Amino acid sequence: MPLTFRQKTGNLLLEYENLILMNERRASVRVAPLPADQWDETVDQALSGLMPAERRNPEATGNLVATLMRHPKLARGFLRFNFHLLYGSTLPARLRELAVLRVAHVTNCEYEWLHHVAMGRDAGLSDDVIAGIQRGEAADELDAAIVAAVDELQRDASVSDPTWTTLSAHLGERQLMDLVFTIGCYGSLAMAINTFGVEPDQER
């Protein structure tokens, strides 16, 4: 029998759920997912070209997209940007997921963390590296600079000169731009998730 999503995340999930419970920062549901009977032509058009027809329903897309569908025009604009960062970015997938997981941790975004632990593993992040992300630790100079960039952008809305110099020694100009926009995109997404009260998806 295939592993469930929660089983795949293992002890890292349990540790993070305990952290969330301790912080007690998850909001009640303020913006609920759009019910299936309200997924009309406008919603379908908003997702057209972004995902196949068989996935354009609340069960397949999950709670986050279903919540965004309360505002189809906004959702389409955001998802097109987000899909570039996921599928068209010049940033290697491993570094992208490292950055996103650090964003999820510092913003206490459980939904984002749960999704990207599995994606991070698929991109080559080991369990030790993922656990280190929560502690602000890194395996090498570049990973440490990625973690620092997330922390600095979240705290100061800018990357410091020393961190930028280190990043520039490993990444090209377009990769640096994709990194900053990845951190910003997932930071703003975490704010929306936490504020709207988007609940983690049920096991699939």
Cα separation, 166 vs 31, whole angstroms: 41
pLDDT at 12: 56
CATH of 89-196, one of 1.10.10.10, 1.10.150.120, 2.60.40.10, 1.20.1290.10: 1.20.1290.10
Cα separation, 48 vs 32, whole angstroms: 22
Assess contact for 72 and 88: CB atoms under 8 A.
no
- In order of 53, 69, 133, 168, the CA distances from 163 in angstroms are 43, 37, 17, 9
Q: Lowest mean pLDDT: which of 1-15, 68-82, 144-158, 174-188?
A: 1-15
- In order of 15, 16, 17, 19, 104, the CA distances from 22 in angstroms are 11, 10, 9, 5, 16
User: Each residue of 82-105: pLDDT tens digit?
Assistant: 999 999 999 999 999 999 999 999
How high is the mean pLDDT of the chain? 90
User: Each residue of 133-178: pLDDT tens digit?
Assistant: 999 999 899 999 999 999 999 999 999 999 999 999 999 999 999 9
- Number of other CB atoms surrounding residue 166 within 10 Å: 19
Q: What is the pTM of this model?
A: 0.87
Stretch(es) of the chain classified as CATH 1.20.1290.10? 89-196
Cα separation, 67 vs 6, whole angstroms: 21
